[in-house]
């Protein structure tokens, strides 16, 4: 029998699509994130999702308002999972830590504490950082180069595992009659003296219930892929289509096998951005609204700090190779795209029109006409939406699993809370019906490692 998929939620309280926060009823105030986090946790747990995943970004700036608004102001991920530890009882909690700037002892202690407090529901996503501004925020002149960052990341993983292994499972004796609390032989130091990291230990937290807490990693560089394939339990990939996902998963499993690891022990997780509704037509209208809400270069917008230069008809025309003197460059955003104009956009334009038709149900000269606003927004802010009712969403999950493209999915929501609710209340039951999502609602004794169906990897 085929195993169910691993399905978690990648939590972005302001939504995963840049205009999502503008959608009617959407959460848009990070000062009230506590309320939306409680709501997301309750929805995810009731839907029997495997985990909640919190990413991170160690800087901010006005440019993020238009590119990735959810990064402007967000709760520290370790703080978020510790907060949710007290309001959940079954779902896994995965926090991101940047190995370039993080301290391994502090990290091991925080995650071991979370694991103890939750009965084994902790997970950690290790990143090496890609934001140059983070260097200044941590007292450094420049962001470290890729090789140095991954040298440190590899030692960071070793440090974490040695610290989590500080206590043997039977080291804590607590024999009141004999007055013996511990077996000293069961407590050991980390004794890591690497080129990048030095840590002595032991860890002053009880042994995590999971032993070694599940490690997650994502990236596209050769060093990143190697770290994911040899050290991580979950490898997060970013694949634009099923063919790329199949190839990436195969590559990661080959690297794992070459390193002497069982390929099956590495779970490959793909992102998915479902827009879910009771009907396909309703889901299409949600995407149409999201496209219409993308800020474009009209009125006061060009004067805004760091406003993107690609949100004009002119920029779209440049990208599609339209002649500089073509009159369509003068059209207004809300003009309908005429058939003769569409014909002058070439193959790239045809592909863009087809994509907008597929995700938003709009068409040239159709009953629901396509406008230049939709085209510019879809080109400037692309997203791999999977749009439709619960059956269509489940079809996507099932086809990727059956093709060997992924072992599971990180579910993103274009805006909160309505789209996450739509996934948990409409799509999740259909996924369970098909055996794609574990249906056991009594998961009180299950650790995150149990949910992910991964071994303890004590030989790592």
Is pLDDT of 435 > 60?
yes
Residue range 352-375, pLDDT digits in tens = 999 999 999 999 988 999 999 999
pLDDT band at 300 (very low <50, low <70, confident <90, very high): low
pLDDT at 211 over 80: yes
Q: Which carries the bigger pLDDT value, residue 432 or residue 130?
A: 432
**In the predicted model, is pLDDT for residue 455 greater than 60?**
yes
What percent of the chain shows pLDDT beyond 70? Answer: 97
Q: What average pLDDT does range 92-119 have in this prediction? A: 98
For the ranges 59-63, 140-144, 164-168, the lowest mean pLDDT is seen at 140-144
pLDDT reading at 443 higher than 70 = no
Domains (range + CATH), the chain: 6-278+385-452 (3.20.20.30), 295-380 (no CATH)
Whether the per-residue pLDDT at 456 is higher than 70: the answer is no
Q: How far apart are CA 38 and CA 80, in angstroms?
A: 10
Cβ atoms of 129 and 101 within 8 Å: the answer is yes
For the cut 60, the answer to whether the pLDDT of residue 460 exceeds it is no
pTM of the model: 0.96
Q: Which of 344, 339, 311, 312 is nearest to 327 (CA)?
A: 344
Query: pLDDT tens digits, residue range 110-136?
Result: 999 999 999 999 999 999 987 889 989
Nearest-angstrom CA–CA distance, 354 and 337: 13
Give pLDDT tens digits for 367-420. 999 999 999 999 999 999 999 999 999 999 999 999 999 999 999 999 999 999
């Amino acid at each position: 029998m085929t195993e169910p998929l691993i399905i978690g939620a990648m939590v972005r309280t302001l939504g995963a699509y840049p205009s999502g926060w503008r959608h009617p009823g959407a959460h848009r105030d990070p000062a009230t994130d506590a309320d939306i986090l409680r709501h997301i946790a309750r929805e995810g747990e009731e839907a029997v999702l495997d985990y909640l995943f919190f990413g991170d970004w160690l800087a901010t700036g006005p440019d993020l308002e238009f590119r990735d608004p959810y990064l402007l102001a967000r709760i520290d991920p370790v703080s978020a999972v510790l907060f949710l530890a007290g309001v959940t009882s079954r779902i896994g909690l995965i926090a991101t830590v940047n190995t370039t700037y993080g301290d391994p002892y502090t990290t091991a202690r925080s995650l071991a504490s979370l694991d103890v407090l939750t009965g084994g529901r902790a997970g950690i996503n290790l990143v090496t950082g890609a934001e140059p501004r983070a260097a200044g925020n941590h007292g450094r002149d420049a962001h470290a180069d890729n090789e140095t960052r991954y040298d440190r990341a590899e030692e960071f993983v070793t440090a974490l595992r040695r610290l989590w292994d500080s206590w043997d499972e039977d080291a804590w004796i607590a024999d009141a009659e004999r007055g013996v609390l511990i077996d000293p032989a069961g407590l050991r130091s980390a004794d890591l003296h690497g080129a990048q990291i030095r840590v002595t230990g032991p860890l002053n937290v009880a042994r995590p219930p999971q032993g070694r807490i599940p490690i997650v990693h994502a990236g596209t560089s050769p060093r990143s892929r190697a770290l994911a394939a040899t050290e991580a339990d979950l490898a997060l990939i970013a694949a634009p289509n099923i063919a790329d996902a199949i190839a990436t998963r195969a590559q990661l499993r080959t690297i794992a096998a070459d390193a002497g690891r069982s390929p099956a022990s590495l779970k490959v997780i793909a992102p998915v951005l479902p827009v879910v509704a009771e009907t396909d037509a309703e889901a299409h209208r949600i995407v149409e609204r999201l496209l219409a809400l993308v800020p474009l270069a009209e009125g006061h917008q060009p004067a805004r700090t760091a406003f993107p230069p690609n949100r004009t008809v002119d920029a779209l025309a440049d990208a599609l190779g339209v002649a500089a003197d073509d009159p369509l460059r003068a059209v207004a955003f809300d003009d309908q795209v005429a058939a003769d104009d569409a014909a002058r956009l070439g193959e790239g334009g045809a592909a863009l029109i087809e994509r907008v038709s597929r995700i938003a149900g709009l068409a040239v000269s159709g009953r629901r006409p396509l406008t230049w606003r939709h085209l510019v927004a879809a080109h400037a802010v692309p997203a791999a939406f999977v749009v439709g009712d619960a059956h269509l969403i489940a079809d996507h999950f099932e086809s990727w699993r059956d093709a060997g493209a992924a072992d599971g999915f990180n579910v993103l929501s274009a805006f909160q809370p309505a789209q996450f609710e739509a996934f948990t209340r409409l799509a999740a039951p259909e996924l369970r019906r098909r055996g794609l999502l574990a249906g056991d609602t009594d998961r009180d004794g299950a650790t995150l490692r149990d949910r992910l169906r991964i071994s303890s990897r004590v030989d790592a």
